[in-house]
Copies of this chain bind each other. A is one copy, B any other.
Amino acid sequence: MEFSDRLHRLVSQRGTPLCVGFDPHINLLPPALVRRHLDKTGHPLHGHIAAVTEFLIRILDRIAGRIPIVKPQWAFFEQFGPEGMVALQSICSEARDRGLLVIADAKRGDIGSTAAAYANAFFASADPAEDAYSPPFLADAVTVNPYLGWDAVSPFLAKNIQHGVFVLVRTSNPSGDDFQNLSVDGDRVQDRVADAVREWGAGRIGECGWSSVGAVVGATYPEEAERLRDRMPLTPFLIPGFGAQGGSADSAVKALNRDGSGGNVNSSRDILFAYRKAPYTRQFGEDGFDRAAEAACLDAIHRLGEALHRK
């Protein structure tokens, strides 16, 4: 089944397009949790990895039934080295065991033969006999950087229709303008990337009507989201920047259909680290970080639902 159909079905079942990003900044974790694991392991690296793992698994236990998809950010595990990558494997497989889809936010992008090796890391082949071993970081989709063009994307699409990609089109960071906004004959670079994403995904439209080749479109630029929607009418959007990066719920759902289809809205820090902020701090305390995350998740689902109703 096409990745887009799997995602569409799960979004319908859970009744929300919310995606929770796993960006476990060690300095934002509950200090007591980190201290406990540092004391237990007597080793900074192992203590940090154990703290991140407990933190995310406890949050997963609370939120897994409420959302369709999670997006672990590779960098936060890669910085811990191979042992961090083992923890990442277990986070991804725990998420999948709980019925969630997983987007590997790895932003890979390389020449063809190298992109094929990256695809092996994340995706299984349609015929298992083609894989010498199972993909170590099995994910349902991966984020891909378009700077190297089609070569960087095609190996991911060649593996298996069950897997999809989200190509960076418009990112929500302050310097996203540097090159994405350059003028190209009346268009912008991001528009040309959008056109390519539409073409790349044309052969991968699911029964739900959406493509398995998605686009990352930052929520901090709502007018752009509408313009990019016009250029990519069948492309699911992955919309970062809701919450901590400054996007409102109304901005975030700008490019979505009223039924919540057409994209996923990501929130990372506002949910993971809700325990640090009012009203959750007083309500749950530091050790109730998982219940704070659950409450913030329910609040985000609610705000997105209201914004969709207002459309």
Main secondary structure of the interface of A (DSSP, over half): helix
User: How far does the Cβ of A150 sit from chain B's closest Cβ, in whole Å?
Assistant: 4
Bound CA span A236–B196, Å: 32
Bound CA span A26–B171, Å: 35
Q: Are B132 and A44 in contact (CB under 8 A)?
A: yes
Q: Are B179 and A192 in contact (CB under 8 A)?
A: yes
A124 close to chain B: CB less than 8 A: no
A270 close to chain B: CB less than 8 A: no
Bound CA span A109–B74, Å: 12
A198 close to chain B: CB less than 8 A: no
A82 close to chain B: CB less than 8 A: yes
Q: Are B151 and A174 in contact (CB under 8 A)?
A: yes
Q: Are A121 and B75 in contact (CB under 8 A)?
A: yes
Q: Are A176 and B148 in contact (CB under 8 A)?
A: yes
The 7 closest A-B pairs by CB, nearest first: A81-B136, A149-B178, A149-B175, A75-B117, A111-B173, A82-B85, A150-B175
Q: Which residues of A contact B (CB under 8 A)?
A: 23, 25-26, 44-45, 48, 73, 75-76, 78-86, 89, 107-115, 117-118, 120-121, 132-133, 135-137, 145-152, 168, 171-180, 182-185, 189, 192-193, 196
Interface contacts beyond A78-B117, A85-B85: sample of 18 additional A-B pairs, CB < 8 Å, sorted by A:
A75-B114, A75-B121, A80-B136, A82-B83, A107-B109, A109-B109, A109-B147, A148-B168, A148-B173, A148-B175, A149-B173, A149-B175, A149-B177, A149-B179, A151-B174, A151-B175, A151-B176, A182-B184
